[in-house]
Structure 1
C-alpha cells in the first residue's frame, strides 16, 4: 500500500523534492543536493538523476517506456498501465519506489547503495509486494448484494439494463457476487 500511495503522491507532485521545499519556503536553492545537475523536481529525482538513470538502465524496462515521460507523470503512468501487463506495471512502480528510497538514503544518511544491490533489493521488494497483494485479494470476501424492486415505481428499461451491465462486469471481475431476489417490502 505504501508503494501505491507514494506513486500517487509523486504523480500529484506531492513528494518532498527540493523544488517543492522551495515552493513552501523551506529551501532557498532548488538544485539537486545529490548531483548538483539541475533542479530537483519529481522527474529529476525519479528519472533524470544520474543514479536513477543507471538504475533504469540495469532494470529490464525498455528505454522507449522510460524516455516517453514528459512532465505529466500521472498521464505517463496511466498510459503505461493501459499498454502493459499488471506484473510489468508493478515492477515499474517498485523501481520508482526503490529509486526514491535510494535517493533518501543518500541525502538523509549519506549512504550510497551499490546499484546491483539496489536492483536485487527492488526485485525482492517486488516479489514481497506481489505476494502481499495476492494474499490481500484472496482474504477479502466478495460482497453479496441483494437487489430488489419496489413495486410502487417500475424501473425504466434503461436503468435495468445499465444495472445488469454493471453487475455482470463486477461479477466477471469477481468483485461482487450478486443475487437477485424479491425485496421484503413486497414485489
Structure 2
C-alpha cells in the first residue's frame, strides 16, 4: 500500500485589514515558501527584482506596511503565481490608501460634523516673539538709523546740478 502524494498547501491569502495583519501574512508566506532570507534575495534577483536579505528580515520584523516595490519583490521571490501576486498587491494598495474595512467602520462611526476634508488641517497659531525681543530690536534699529543720519549717509550735501540740454535761450539770459 503506497501513500497518496500530498498536495502542496495553497499560499496564505493577504488580509486587507491593516498593516500589522498584512506583515503577519507576509511572515506566513515566507514560512510557506520554506526559503531562507538569502534564498529569497537570490530568487528575487533571478526574477529581476532587488530584495536584499536584510530588507526582507527587517520588513518581517516590524508591523509597518512595506513599500510596494518590496512587496512585489517578496511575493515574486516566494514563488507566487501572477494572480496570487496581484491579490497581494491589491491588498497592499487597499491598506496604503486607507480603504480597509476597519477604516470604513471608523469613518461610519464618526459623526458627520466631525469629518473634515483630508487636506484641511487645523491651523496652529504662529509663535509670538516676547516683548523684550521686540523692544530690543526696535532700540537697535533706532541706534543704527541715528548713526547713519548723523554720518550724513541719508543726506546729500552736494550741489544740485541741472542735467538738461542747454538751449540758445539759456545762453542769452546770463
TM-score normalised per structure 2:
0.28
Structure ID, larger Rg: 2
Higher normalized strand content (fraction of residues)? 1
